[in-house]
């Protein structure tokens, strides 16, 4: 089932999400619905707060980037096959010189800005079977993970922009929270309390 994606301005996007246990009610169905919602909106990632739940789950699927000629064939191959569910993730370490990448977010449609992040991360998480992994990622995969991880920490990519950029997009963000925007996927707008 495709769930409505929560728009910028909803307080759930600002909560530090809580860890879950294996016994979380209907977890399998929830993960399935999150996947459907992410694919339905052509996203490369989706975090539980974006469907209104302040719990530590996010999904990443970088395959849409594999079409991008900006990347080498080898990178495209890696991006094409990277699909992962992250439960109870904690980033343990980030390193390297920050690099810029133009980010967007399903909760903030039509806003794209360059965001600076470190290129390498070490993360501990549980998969859908609650097996714990500690892994290192870099490049674009690390980038998407960092963006989704921020969601479960209550952080949005727009928080990371300069104060000038923030001022420039202020009106756009306020329109998004009021639902004054055209989107081709289901969204829920905080100021409207209505679905569409």
Question: Which of 25-33, 65-73, 100-108, 111-119 is the region at the interface with Zn ion (rule: CB under 5 A)?
Answer: 100-108
The interface with Zn ion within residues 102-141 (CB under 5 A) comprises: 105
Stretch that binds Zn ion, among 3-11, 22-30, 34-42, 97-105 (CB under 5 A): 97-105
Q: How far apart are CA 167 and CA 177, in angstroms?
A: 16
**Residue placing its CB nearer to Zn ion in the complex, 48 or 105:** 105
Residue 57 lies near Zn ion (rule: CB under 5 A):
no
From the candidates 95, 98, 148, 153, give the one annotated as an active-site residue: 148
Radius of gyration for the alpha carbons in the chain, expressed in angstroms and rounded? 16
Mapped onto helix, strand or coil, the DSSP state of residue 135 is: strand
Q: Does 142 bind Zn ion (CB under 5 A)?
A: no
Kindly state the smallest distance separating residue 125's Cβ from Zn ion, in Å: 17
Instruction: Examine the residue annotation and report whether 148 is marked as an active-site residue of this protein.
Output: yes
Name which of 87 and 111 has its Cβ closer to Zn ion: 111
Count the neighbouring beta carbons within 10 Å of the beta carbon of residue 133.
12
SS3 162: coil
Residue whose CB is less far from Zn ion, 79 or 105: 105
Residue 39, exposed/middle/buried by CB under 10 A (0-12, 13-18, 19+)? middle
Q: Which residues, at least 6 apart from 63, have a Cβ–Cβ distance to it below 8 Å?
A: 44, 79, 80, 81, 82, 83
Q: How many residues make contact with Zn ion (CB under 5 A)?
A: 1
Query: Got the DSSP string for 98-110?
Result: -EEEEEEETTEEE
Residue 21 or 64 with smaller CB distance to Zn ion: 64
Which residues contribute to the site for Zn ion (CB under 5 A)? 105
Any idea which residues carry the catalytic annotation? 148
């Amino acid at each position: 089932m495709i769930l409505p994606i929560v728009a910028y301005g909803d307080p759930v996007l600002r909560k530090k999400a809580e860890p879950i246990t294996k016994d979380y009610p209907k977890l399998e169905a929830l993960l399935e619905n999150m996947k459907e919602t992410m694919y339905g909106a052509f996203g490369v990632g989706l975090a539980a707060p974006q469907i209104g739940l302040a719990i530590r789950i996010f999904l990443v699927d970088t395959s849409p980037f594999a079409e991008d000629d900006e990347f080498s064939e080898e990178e495209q191959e890696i991006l094409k096959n990277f699909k992962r569910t992250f439960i109870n993730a904690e980033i343990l370490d980030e390193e390297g010189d920050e690099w810029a990448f133009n980010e967007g977010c399903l909760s903030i449609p039509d806003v794209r800005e360059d965001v600076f992040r470190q290129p390498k991360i070490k993360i501990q998480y549980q998969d859908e079977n609650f097996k714990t992994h500690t892994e290192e990622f870099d490049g674009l995969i690390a980038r998407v993970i960092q963006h989704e991880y921020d969601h479960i920490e209550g952080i949005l990519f727009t928080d990371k922009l300069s104060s000038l950029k923030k001022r420039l997009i202020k009106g756009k963000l306020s329109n998004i929270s009021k639902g004054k925007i055209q989107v081709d996927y289901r969204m829920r707008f905080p100021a409207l309390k209505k679905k569409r």
